[in-house]
Structure 1
């Protein structure tokens, strides 16, 4: 019998993780009838914090008699499952992608603050990836496949001050909102593809090396910094699945896992023999500090450090240094800010 991760329908299709105990974050492996193999068999959405993933092959290894029973009960299930995969996927009309396109999300405004000398390139990248925005300033990362079909839109909130993800808000999806509005029916099912996959169809990208990262934000940043590659994102460490990767057949591919995903991706990449060449980069393994490992950084964090250093260099005038010094002093002693405000003091620098 073949099993796959349960498709997301609504929050009721997510369950309590047997490891971390958090509700609405655990995905069962189910058969074609939607029945779970076992309530311990599945994957936690909190990949970095929890990391629990117990696939069917490990369950059958631990319960060898169960596998024999499953085979006897349903000897023809695997053949049925193959034909089931060939059905058409549910999609979202392209008009929603077009209407959402904007550079006014909190994340994108933060990136523009670091790329003032490179705005045209950043704008072009955002157009290429069709990055959108919600009314609340959250970023929409649209998943569009090589046939220009819109699989879904992942909605993520970022801090406008530093561009970091606001994890307390979690991840939302456009199809969930459209279901609530009655635009999509409740049976609509998300079938994910790689973020940026549509770029593979461009003639300009035909001979480029494909670079695969975990997060959509990372793909955007790296596409600006390293335009000689086609940057795609899986959407998570555990999303490096063969079904998604088959669009990379006959391409030269380099995988850039987050610092906590190197060994897992190194193992998974061995299955991608359909690619022309495959390499898993160890740039983070060789260059990060222990603090970086604790923070679970990715390659975009290294690029952002460079961008921030350049911005500080551009802004590091005598007046900027004085203002930064005053800011640090008032943070340590808030009463000092009261004195400055009451006396109307302003910093004065001697350019001579």
Structure 2
């Protein structure tokens, strides 16, 4: 596995994008010094509307080739005989370094030669490239940090307080009280006033019943839409209750439900609200949510690898999720991707709940 000297910052800090000027820009960071690269190197999270991505350039790649002999035949070329007895004439311009029994030859030259090289040691030369070079370095990976979990006692305490939340009240205008009660009970939807009055806590509980996180979001009681003005009303429970040492390690929302029925197909959407709504409309699926478009990935989906999965990306995300599903299916997943929303005239960001509630 290639470990690069420069990588996108894995923290939560965002900067102003040089293209769209929104605060959605993730900078590249030097993995040794942990300093940010200049402002133009990074990636905007607004993949649909901006898609700015400028990585630092890489140098030329050279592979180590073991040889039996090296002989200069002209001032511009060297004859090599490798350990397999293959004789090759190599231009000096394609050799980075050489010694008696080995030399570093450029990938460009090797691709067009009969020399076996793909499993050999390699390195990058960046003397001919200005600016920052994404040089591969062999680094020692730090030991993984154990994730934190919320206690069952905390969930019980908050859930049993029976605090009203705006999202649940909105759902009662669309469905019967019994339907809403069953859905909110299945997902342990909890009202809270911790950050904002009548907000909703979406608990992330895994298939082993460990509580990974609580995401707090506020909704408008009459429209059912998220409150985003004057700022996006979203927070993590561990931050709200001031647990500074809490190590967040997310899981899929609704993952705890996958053990209810092993015969049911699992349906994946992005929004927690959409998973709840669809569990009422189409209960023959087990509905779970990624919580963000970027969470449709191996690490999150690994616990349901053996299950039949159908995913419903938001409008505009079909190709991204299809590409990821194709990658995952190649290693044993069974994921189909619905294009039902791509066939509509709705704007990007429209989701499956919006679609069904508009019928």
**What TM-score do the two structures reach when normalised by structure 2?**
0.68
Partner residue of 2:350 out of 288, 297, 302 = 297
Tell me, in whole angstroms, the C-alpha distance in 1 between the residues paired with 2:124 and 2:42. Answer: 20
Shift of 1:109: 0.4
Is the contact between residue 221 and residue 303 of structure 1 (CA under 8 Å) also seen in structure 2?
no
Q: Does the C-alpha gap of structure 1 residues 163 and 71 become closer, same or farther in structure 2, counting only changes over 3 Å?
A: closer
Partner residue of 1:138 out of 190, 199, 217 = 199
Partner residue of 1:210 out of 260, 263, 266 = 266
Partner residue of 1:108 out of 168, 184, 192 = 168
Which residue of structure 2 aligns with residue 75 of structure 1? 138
3-state SS in 2 of match to 1:114: coil
Which residue of structure 2 aligns with residue 22 of structure 1? 22
Mapping for residues 220-259 of structure 1, pairs under 5 Å: 220-259=276-315
Tell me, in whole angstroms, the C-alpha distance in 2 between the residues paired with 1:31 and 1:237. Answer: 26
Tell me, in whole angstroms, the C-alpha distance in 1 between the residues paired with 2:33 and 2:278. Answer: 38
Larger Rg: 2
Tell me, in whole angstroms, the C-alpha distance in 2 between the residues paired with 1:43 and 1:133. Answer: 35
Shift of 1:100: 2.9
Shift of 1:64: 4.4
Partner residue of 2:55 out of 32, 35, 59 = 59
Q: Does the C-alpha gap of structure 1 residues 246 and 33 become closer, same or farther in structure 2, counting only changes over 3 Å?
A: farther
Q: Does the C-alpha gap of structure 1 residues 242 and 104 become closer, same or farther in structure 2, counting only changes over 3 Å?
A: same
- Aligned pair 1:165/2:236, yes or no? no
Gaps of 5+ in 1: 307-352
Write the deviation string for residues 147-179 of structure 1: whole angstroms up to 9, x where unpaired.
222221112221111111122231211111122
Tell me, in whole angstroms, the C-alpha distance in 2 between the residues paired with 1:144 and 1:249. Answer: 17
Tell me, in whole angstroms, the C-alpha distance in 1 between the residues paired with 2:52 and 2:210. Answer: 30
3-state SS in 1 of match to 2:146: coil
Q: Does the C-alpha gap of structure 1 residues 126 and 143 become closer, same or farther in structure 2, counting only changes over 3 Å?
A: same
Write the deviation string for residues 230-267 of structure 1: whole angstroms up to 9, x where unpaired.
11111122221211111121111111001111111111
Shift of 1:298: 0.8
Which residue of structure 2 aligns with residue 324 of structure 1? none
Is the contact between residue 144 and residue 196 of structure 1 (CA under 8 Å) also seen in structure 2?
yes
Q: Does the C-alpha gap of structure 1 residues 72 and 43 become closer, same or farther in structure 2, counting only changes over 3 Å?
A: closer
Gaps of 5+ in 2: 62-122, 126-132
Tell me, in whole angstroms, the C-alpha distance in 1 between the residues paired with 2:255 and 2:186. Answer: 11
Partner residue of 1:177 out of 240, 243, 246 = 240
| Structure with the higher helix share, 1 or 2 | 1
| Structure with the higher strand share, 1 or 2 | 2
Tell me, in whole angstroms, the C-alpha distance in 2 between the residues paired with 1:242 and 1:31. Answer: 25
Write the deviation string for residues 105-125 of structure 1: whole angstroms up to 9, x where unpaired.
111101011112xx3232122
Tell me, in whole angstroms, the C-alpha distance in 1 between the residues paired with 2:223 and 2:205. Answer: 28
Write the deviation string for residues 187-246 of structure 1: whole angstroms up to 9, x where unpaired.
43322111111112x2x3222111110111100101111111111111122221211111
3-state SS in 2 of match to 1:278: strand
Equivalenced residues, count: 278
Q: Does the C-alpha gap of structure 1 residues 304 and 33 become closer, same or farther in structure 2, counting only changes over 3 Å?
A: farther
Which residue of structure 2 aligns with residue 260 of structure 1? 316
Is the contact between residue 205 and residue 212 of structure 2 (CA under 8 Å) also seen in structure 1?
yes
3-state SS in 2 of match to 1:127: helix
Write the deviation string for residues 6-55 of structure 1: whole angstroms up to 9, x where unpaired.
244xxxx33333333234x444465777936745555545566x45464x
Q: Does the C-alpha gap of structure 1 residues 31 and 190 become closer, same or farther in structure 2, counting only changes over 3 Å?
A: farther
- Aligned pair 1:277/2:334, yes or no? yes
